[in-house]
Amino acid sequence: MKARQRAQEQPAPEADWAHTVERAASEDVRELLRVEQRRRRGRRLAGGLVVLAVAAVVTLLVRSSLFTPVPGDPVSDDTPSRSAAQLDLTKPFASTPAADWADGAAGITAPAPKAIREFSAAQVAEATGLVREALVASRIDTRLVVGHDPTGYLGLLAPDARRQLQPLFGDGHEPQVQSLVSMVASGTELLPVDPKVSGSMSVRAGGPGELVVHTNYVFAYAFRPDRPTKPADAMDVIVVVRSDVDYVLRSGERWTPGSRGLWFGDASGFGYSIGCDAYRKGFLAPVAAEPSVTAPADDGRPDAFFDPTAPLPAAGGCHP
Protein backbone atom coordinates (compact mmCIF):
# COMPACT_ATOMS: atom_id res chain seq x y z
CA MET A 1 0.00 0.00 0.00
CA LYS A 2 1.51 3.28 -1.03
CA ALA A 3 -0.11 5.82 1.21
CA ARG A 4 2.48 8.58 0.81
CA GLN A 5 1.72 10.74 3.77
CA ARG A 6 4.06 13.69 3.56
CA ALA A 7 4.57 16.02 6.49
CA GLN A 8 2.49 18.79 4.96
CA GLU A 9 -0.45 16.53 4.02
CA GLN A 10 -3.36 15.33 6.11
CA PRO A 11 -4.45 11.66 5.96
CA ALA A 12 -7.60 10.95 3.94
CA PRO A 13 -10.74 10.48 6.07
CA GLU A 14 -11.44 6.83 6.74
CA ALA A 15 -14.93 7.14 5.26
CA ASP A 16 -13.43 8.26 1.93
CA TRP A 17 -10.98 5.43 1.58
CA ALA A 18 -13.54 2.85 2.71
CA HIS A 19 -15.88 4.04 -0.06
CA THR A 20 -13.04 3.91 -2.61
CA VAL A 21 -12.20 0.33 -1.63
CA GLU A 22 -15.82 -0.83 -1.81
CA ARG A 23 -16.28 0.68 -5.28
CA ALA A 24 -12.99 -0.72 -6.59
CA ALA A 25 -13.70 -4.18 -5.20
CA SER A 26 -17.06 -4.32 -6.97
CA GLU A 27 -15.49 -3.34 -10.28
CA ASP A 28 -12.72 -5.92 -9.87
CA VAL A 29 -15.10 -8.77 -9.06
CA ARG A 30 -17.31 -7.93 -12.06
CA GLU A 31 -14.29 -8.00 -14.34
CA LEU A 32 -13.09 -11.29 -12.87
CA LEU A 33 -16.55 -12.77 -13.44
CA ARG A 34 -16.39 -11.83 -17.11
CA VAL A 35 -12.91 -13.27 -17.49
CA GLU A 36 -13.79 -16.51 -15.76
CA GLN A 37 -16.93 -17.05 -17.85
CA ARG A 38 -14.73 -16.92 -20.95
CA ARG A 39 -11.96 -19.04 -19.47
CA ARG A 40 -13.73 -21.82 -17.61
CA ARG A 41 -13.12 -25.14 -19.36
CA GLY A 42 -14.55 -27.97 -17.35
CA ARG A 43 -13.82 -28.81 -13.79
CA ARG A 44 -11.71 -31.13 -11.70
CA LEU A 45 -11.83 -32.21 -8.09
CA ALA A 46 -8.56 -30.94 -6.70
CA GLY A 47 -8.75 -28.29 -4.03
CA GLY A 48 -9.66 -24.68 -4.59
CA LEU A 49 -7.35 -22.27 -6.38
CA VAL A 50 -7.96 -18.72 -5.23
CA VAL A 51 -6.20 -15.77 -6.80
CA LEU A 52 -5.96 -12.50 -4.93
CA ALA A 53 -4.33 -9.14 -5.36
CA VAL A 54 -3.98 -5.90 -3.46
CA ALA A 55 -4.43 -2.51 -5.06
CA ALA A 56 -2.26 0.45 -4.08
CA VAL A 57 -5.04 2.51 -2.49
CA VAL A 58 -5.34 4.01 0.96
CA THR A 59 -6.38 0.68 2.48
CA LEU A 60 -5.97 -2.96 1.61
CA LEU A 61 -8.08 -4.23 -1.30
CA VAL A 62 -8.24 -7.97 -1.81
CA ARG A 63 -9.59 -9.01 -5.18
CA SER A 64 -10.68 -12.55 -4.39
CA SER A 65 -11.75 -14.63 -7.35
CA LEU A 66 -15.36 -15.39 -6.48
CA PHE A 67 -17.00 -16.79 -9.58
CA THR A 68 -20.37 -17.95 -10.74
CA PRO A 69 -21.37 -21.25 -9.12
CA VAL A 70 -19.71 -24.36 -10.50
CA PRO A 71 -20.92 -27.46 -8.66
CA GLY A 72 -18.18 -29.62 -7.22
CA ASP A 73 -18.13 -33.36 -6.82
CA PRO A 74 -18.84 -34.56 -3.27
CA VAL A 75 -15.92 -36.15 -1.48
CA SER A 76 -16.83 -39.64 -0.31
CA ASP A 77 -15.13 -42.81 0.77
CA ASP A 78 -15.35 -44.00 -2.85
CA THR A 79 -13.63 -40.92 -4.29
CA PRO A 80 -10.33 -42.02 -5.85
CA SER A 81 -7.06 -40.41 -4.85
CA ARG A 82 -6.29 -37.26 -6.81
CA SER A 83 -2.57 -37.94 -7.14
CA ALA A 84 0.19 -40.26 -6.02
CA ALA A 85 1.13 -37.91 -3.16
CA GLN A 86 0.22 -40.25 -0.32
CA LEU A 87 0.10 -38.85 3.20
CA ASP A 88 2.61 -39.76 5.89
CA LEU A 89 1.60 -37.91 9.07
CA THR A 90 5.19 -37.88 10.32
CA LYS A 91 6.48 -36.48 7.02
CA PRO A 92 3.44 -34.86 5.40
CA PHE A 93 5.41 -33.10 2.65
CA ALA A 94 7.49 -36.12 1.64
CA SER A 95 5.55 -36.93 -1.53
CA THR A 96 5.02 -33.31 -2.65
CA PRO A 97 7.20 -30.79 -4.52
CA ALA A 98 7.86 -29.10 -1.15
CA ALA A 99 9.67 -32.14 0.28
CA ASP A 100 13.15 -30.62 0.07
CA TRP A 101 12.24 -27.05 0.98
CA ALA A 102 13.55 -25.39 4.10
CA ASP A 103 11.53 -25.61 7.29
CA GLY A 104 9.83 -22.47 8.58
CA ALA A 105 11.93 -19.36 9.10
CA ALA A 106 15.01 -21.05 7.62
CA GLY A 107 13.37 -20.68 4.20
CA ILE A 108 13.35 -16.88 4.40
CA THR A 109 16.74 -15.43 3.59
CA ALA A 110 17.86 -11.91 2.72
CA PRO A 111 20.14 -10.98 -0.20
CA ALA A 112 23.63 -9.67 0.42
CA PRO A 113 23.25 -5.97 1.31
CA LYS A 114 24.60 -3.20 -0.88
CA ALA A 115 24.08 0.55 -0.94
CA ILE A 116 21.04 1.70 -2.93
CA ARG A 117 20.71 5.42 -3.66
CA GLU A 118 20.59 7.28 -0.33
CA PHE A 119 20.41 4.03 1.67
CA SER A 120 23.72 2.61 2.89
CA ALA A 121 24.49 -1.12 2.85
CA ALA A 122 23.89 -1.17 6.60
CA GLN A 123 20.47 0.44 6.16
CA VAL A 124 19.59 -2.03 3.42
CA ALA A 125 20.59 -4.91 5.69
CA GLU A 126 18.43 -3.45 8.45
CA ALA A 127 15.48 -3.17 6.06
CA THR A 128 15.72 -6.74 4.75
CA GLY A 129 16.12 -8.00 8.30
CA LEU A 130 12.95 -6.19 9.30
CA VAL A 131 11.07 -7.60 6.31
CA ARG A 132 12.27 -11.09 7.20
CA GLU A 133 10.86 -10.60 10.69
CA ALA A 134 7.57 -9.45 9.15
CA LEU A 135 7.34 -12.57 6.97
CA VAL A 136 8.04 -14.85 9.90
CA ALA A 137 5.49 -13.01 12.06
CA SER A 138 2.82 -13.04 9.34
CA ARG A 139 3.24 -16.51 7.82
CA ILE A 140 5.02 -18.77 10.33
CA ASP A 141 4.62 -17.54 13.92
CA THR A 142 1.79 -19.54 15.50
CA ARG A 143 0.69 -16.54 17.55
CA LEU A 144 -0.82 -15.15 14.36
CA VAL A 145 -1.18 -18.23 12.14
CA VAL A 146 -2.99 -20.27 14.82
CA GLY A 147 -3.91 -17.79 17.55
CA HIS A 148 -4.96 -14.96 15.19
CA ASP A 149 -3.04 -12.46 17.33
CA PRO A 150 -1.51 -9.84 14.99
CA THR A 151 0.35 -7.95 17.71
CA GLY A 152 3.81 -9.19 16.75
CA TYR A 153 3.32 -8.49 13.06
CA LEU A 154 1.71 -5.09 13.51
CA GLY A 155 4.46 -4.06 15.90
CA LEU A 156 6.97 -4.24 13.04
CA LEU A 157 5.09 -1.71 10.90
CA ALA A 158 5.13 2.08 10.87
CA PRO A 159 2.58 3.56 13.32
CA ASP A 160 0.31 4.82 10.54
CA ALA A 161 0.46 1.47 8.71
CA ARG A 162 -0.34 -0.31 11.96
CA ARG A 163 -3.30 2.02 12.54
CA GLN A 164 -4.75 1.12 9.13
CA LEU A 165 -4.37 -2.65 9.49
CA GLN A 166 -5.37 -3.11 13.13
CA PRO A 167 -9.17 -2.81 12.55
CA LEU A 168 -9.05 -5.47 9.81
CA PHE A 169 -8.19 -8.28 12.23
CA GLY A 170 -11.53 -9.43 13.53
CA ASP A 171 -15.23 -8.73 12.96
CA GLY A 172 -15.24 -10.38 9.53
CA HIS A 173 -12.64 -8.13 7.91
CA GLU A 174 -9.98 -10.85 7.63
CA PRO A 175 -10.32 -11.24 3.83
CA GLN A 176 -8.87 -7.74 3.49
CA VAL A 177 -5.55 -8.83 5.00
CA GLN A 178 -5.23 -12.41 3.75
CA SER A 179 -2.67 -11.41 1.09
CA LEU A 180 -0.36 -10.28 3.91
CA VAL A 181 -0.91 -12.94 6.58
CA SER A 182 -1.84 -16.59 7.03
CA MET A 183 -4.47 -17.59 9.60
CA VAL A 184 -5.83 -21.11 9.91
CA ALA A 185 -9.58 -21.55 10.23
CA SER A 186 -11.16 -22.34 13.57
CA GLY A 187 -11.89 -26.03 13.90
CA THR A 188 -8.78 -27.05 11.94
CA GLU A 189 -5.42 -28.06 13.37
CA LEU A 190 -1.94 -27.93 11.88
CA LEU A 191 0.28 -30.97 12.20
CA PRO A 192 3.24 -30.41 14.58
CA VAL A 193 5.66 -29.59 11.75
CA ASP A 194 6.93 -26.28 10.44
CA PRO A 195 5.49 -25.05 7.17
CA LYS A 196 7.73 -25.57 4.17
CA VAL A 197 9.01 -22.36 2.57
CA SER A 198 10.60 -21.53 -0.79
CA GLY A 199 11.28 -18.18 -2.44
CA SER A 200 13.43 -15.07 -2.35
CA MET A 201 13.51 -11.34 -1.71
CA SER A 202 15.10 -8.50 -3.64
CA VAL A 203 15.67 -4.79 -3.01
CA ARG A 204 15.25 -1.71 -5.17
CA ALA A 205 14.88 2.03 -4.76
CA GLY A 206 11.38 3.43 -4.55
CA GLY A 207 10.36 7.07 -4.46
CA PRO A 208 12.38 9.64 -2.52
CA GLY A 209 13.03 8.29 0.94
CA GLU A 210 11.71 4.83 0.04
CA LEU A 211 13.40 1.43 -0.12
CA VAL A 212 11.29 -1.36 -1.63
CA VAL A 213 11.86 -4.96 -0.59
CA HIS A 214 10.05 -7.35 -2.93
CA THR A 215 9.21 -10.73 -1.40
CA ASN A 216 8.20 -13.76 -3.45
CA TYR A 217 7.53 -16.89 -1.40
CA VAL A 218 5.44 -20.04 -1.36
CA PHE A 219 4.34 -21.43 2.01
CA ALA A 220 3.01 -24.99 2.39
CA TYR A 221 1.00 -25.84 5.52
CA ALA A 222 0.17 -29.37 6.67
CA PHE A 223 -3.12 -29.89 8.52
CA ARG A 224 -4.14 -32.81 10.70
CA PRO A 225 -6.75 -34.93 8.89
CA ASP A 226 -10.14 -35.41 10.50
CA ARG A 227 -9.87 -39.17 10.06
CA PRO A 228 -6.21 -40.10 10.62
CA THR A 229 -6.84 -43.83 10.18
CA LYS A 230 -8.10 -43.37 6.62
CA PRO A 231 -5.44 -43.44 3.87
CA ALA A 232 -5.33 -40.02 2.29
CA ASP A 233 -3.81 -38.06 -0.53
CA ALA A 234 -1.24 -35.64 0.92
CA MET A 235 -2.86 -32.73 -0.91
CA ASP A 236 -6.08 -33.39 0.99
CA VAL A 237 -4.41 -31.80 4.01
CA ILE A 238 -1.72 -29.53 2.55
CA VAL A 239 -2.52 -25.92 1.71
CA VAL A 240 -0.21 -23.96 -0.58
CA VAL A 241 -0.04 -20.16 -0.33
CA ARG A 242 1.86 -18.03 -2.86
CA SER A 243 2.65 -14.54 -1.60
CA ASP A 244 4.25 -11.76 -3.67
CA VAL A 245 4.41 -8.65 -1.48
CA ASP A 246 6.32 -5.38 -1.68
CA TYR A 247 7.33 -3.99 1.69
CA VAL A 248 8.39 -0.34 1.65
CA LEU A 249 10.70 1.23 4.21
CA ARG A 250 10.12 5.00 4.47
CA SER A 251 12.61 7.22 6.23
CA GLY A 252 13.72 10.84 6.41
CA GLU A 253 12.16 14.23 7.02
CA ARG A 254 9.96 13.85 3.97
CA TRP A 255 7.67 11.67 6.07
CA THR A 256 5.77 12.45 9.24
CA PRO A 257 7.01 10.51 12.29
CA GLY A 258 3.99 8.22 12.14
CA SER A 259 4.70 7.32 8.52
CA ARG A 260 8.37 6.50 9.01
CA GLY A 261 9.07 2.80 9.08
CA LEU A 262 7.83 -0.32 7.30
CA TRP A 263 4.75 -0.24 5.07
CA PHE A 264 3.00 -2.89 3.00
CA GLY A 265 2.89 -2.16 -0.73
CA ASP A 266 1.53 -3.97 -3.79
CA ALA A 267 0.67 -7.60 -3.14
CA SER A 268 -0.59 -10.55 -5.15
CA GLY A 269 -0.73 -14.30 -4.80
CA PHE A 270 -3.02 -17.30 -4.56
CA GLY A 271 -4.11 -20.20 -2.42
CA TYR A 272 -3.98 -23.70 -3.89
CA SER A 273 -5.47 -26.97 -2.62
CA ILE A 274 -7.53 -24.98 -0.19
CA GLY A 275 -10.99 -24.98 1.33
CA CYS A 276 -12.86 -22.22 -0.46
CA ASP A 277 -15.43 -21.47 2.22
CA ALA A 278 -12.71 -20.79 4.77
CA TYR A 279 -10.60 -18.80 2.30
CA ARG A 280 -13.43 -16.46 1.41
CA LYS A 281 -13.60 -15.64 5.13
CA GLY A 282 -9.86 -14.89 5.22
CA PHE A 283 -8.64 -18.19 6.66
CA LEU A 284 -6.82 -21.35 5.57
CA ALA A 285 -8.35 -24.82 5.67
CA PRO A 286 -7.51 -28.00 3.75
CA VAL A 287 -9.79 -29.32 1.04
CA ALA A 288 -10.59 -32.33 3.22
CA ALA A 289 -12.33 -29.98 5.66
CA GLU A 290 -15.08 -29.19 3.14
CA PRO A 291 -17.62 -31.49 1.48
CA SER A 292 -16.81 -30.40 -2.07
CA VAL A 293 -14.39 -28.14 -3.87
CA THR A 294 -13.91 -27.05 -7.43
CA ALA A 295 -10.82 -25.76 -9.18
CA PRO A 296 -10.42 -24.60 -12.78
CA ALA A 297 -9.01 -26.84 -15.44
CA ASP A 298 -5.44 -25.72 -16.05
CA ASP A 299 -3.00 -26.26 -18.86
CA GLY A 300 0.08 -26.61 -16.67
CA ARG A 301 1.40 -29.02 -14.07
CA PRO A 302 0.14 -28.84 -10.48
CA ASP A 303 3.82 -28.57 -9.53
CA ALA A 304 3.73 -25.02 -10.93
CA PHE A 305 1.66 -23.93 -7.94
CA PHE A 306 4.67 -24.78 -5.77
CA ASP A 307 7.02 -22.70 -7.93
CA PRO A 308 7.51 -19.10 -6.71
CA THR A 309 8.94 -18.13 -10.12
CA ALA A 310 5.92 -19.37 -12.11
CA PRO A 311 3.50 -16.78 -13.52
CA LEU A 312 0.54 -16.07 -11.28
CA PRO A 313 -2.70 -17.70 -12.52
CA ALA A 314 -5.11 -15.38 -14.25
CA ALA A 315 -8.17 -16.56 -12.32
CA GLY A 316 -9.29 -18.95 -9.67
CA GLY A 317 -12.02 -21.49 -9.28
CA CYS A 318 -13.69 -21.39 -5.88
CA HIS A 319 -17.44 -21.71 -6.21
CA PRO A 320 -19.86 -19.87 -3.93
Q: What SS3 string covers 228-254?
A: CCCCCEHHHCEEEEEEEEEEEEECCCC
Q: What pTM was estimated for this model as a whole?
A: 0.75
Residue 256 has φ and ψ, to the nearest 5°, of -65, 155
Q: How far apart are CA 264 and CA 110, in angstroms?
A: 17
198, 284, 314 from 105: Cα distances, Å: 10, 19, 29
The answer on pLDDT for 271 being more than 50 is yes
Apex CA 207: angle with CA 175 and CA 13, to 5°?
Answer: 50
Question: pLDDT band for position 230 (50/70/90)?
Answer: low
- Mean pLDDT computed over 144-148: 97
DSSP letter string over 8-27? TPPPPPHHHHHHHHHHHHHH
Average pLDDT over residues 246-269: 94
36-95 pLDDT, tens per residue? 333 333 222 234 455 554 433 222 323 222 222 222 233 344 444 344 456 788 899 998
Question: Left if phi > 0, otherwise alpha if psi is -120 to 50, otherwise beta: which for 65?
Answer: beta
pLDDT for the residue numbered 72: 26
CA-based nearest residue to 313, from 274, 262, 286, 285: 274
Q: Say yes or no to pLDDT of 24 above 60.
A: no
First to last CA, the chain: 28
Mean pLDDT (whole number) for 19-33 = 43
Provide the pLDDT for residue 76: 41
Q: What pLDDT score was predicted for residue 10?
A: 43
Q: 39 or 182: whose pLDDT is higher?
A: 182
Most confident of 27-36, 170-179, 268-277, 290-299: 170-179
Cα–Cα distance for residue pair 170/42, rounded to 1 Å: 36
pLDDT value at position 188?
94
Give the count of alpha carbons within 13 A of 276, CB side only: 26
pLDDT of residue 228: 59
pLDDT band at 13 (very low <50, low <70, confident <90, very high): very low
Tell me the per-residue pLDDT of 197-226, one tens digit each, with 9 for 90 and over. Answer: 999 999 999 999 999 999 999 999 999 987
Per-residue confidence band for 132, with pLDDT thresholds at 50, 70 and 90: very high
| Structure confidence at residue 134 (pLDDT) | 98
DSSP line for 52-81: EEE-SSSS--B---B-S--PPPPP-TTPPP
Cβ partners under 8 Å of residue 280, min gap 6: 50, 64, 66, 175, 318
Mean pLDDT over each residue of the chain, to the nearest integer: 76
CA angle (235 as vertex; 230, 240 as ends), nearest 5: 145
pLDDT in tens, 238-249: 999 999 999 999
- Least confident range of 45-49, 194-198, 261-265: 45-49
**pLDDT at 49 (0 to 100):** 54
Q: What is the pLDDT of residue 75?
A: 39
Q: What are the Cα distances from residue 51, in Å, to 115, 146, 241, 255?
A: 35, 22, 10, 33
Which range is most confident: 24-28, 144-148, 309-313? 144-148
Q: What is the pLDDT of residue 42?
A: 28
The pLDDT score that the predictor gives to residue 141 is 98
Q: Is the pLDDT confidence value at 298 over 50?
A: no
Radius of gyration of the chain (CA): 20
Tally the C-alpha atoms within 13 A of residue 125's C-alpha that lie toward its C-beta.
Answer: 6
* Cα–Cα distance, 24 to 2 (Å, whole number): 16
Task: Name residues whose C-beta falls within 8 Å of residue 84's C-beta, 6 or more positions apart in sequence.
Answer: 95
Q: Which of 4-18, 114-128, 161-175 has the lowest mean pLDDT?
A: 4-18
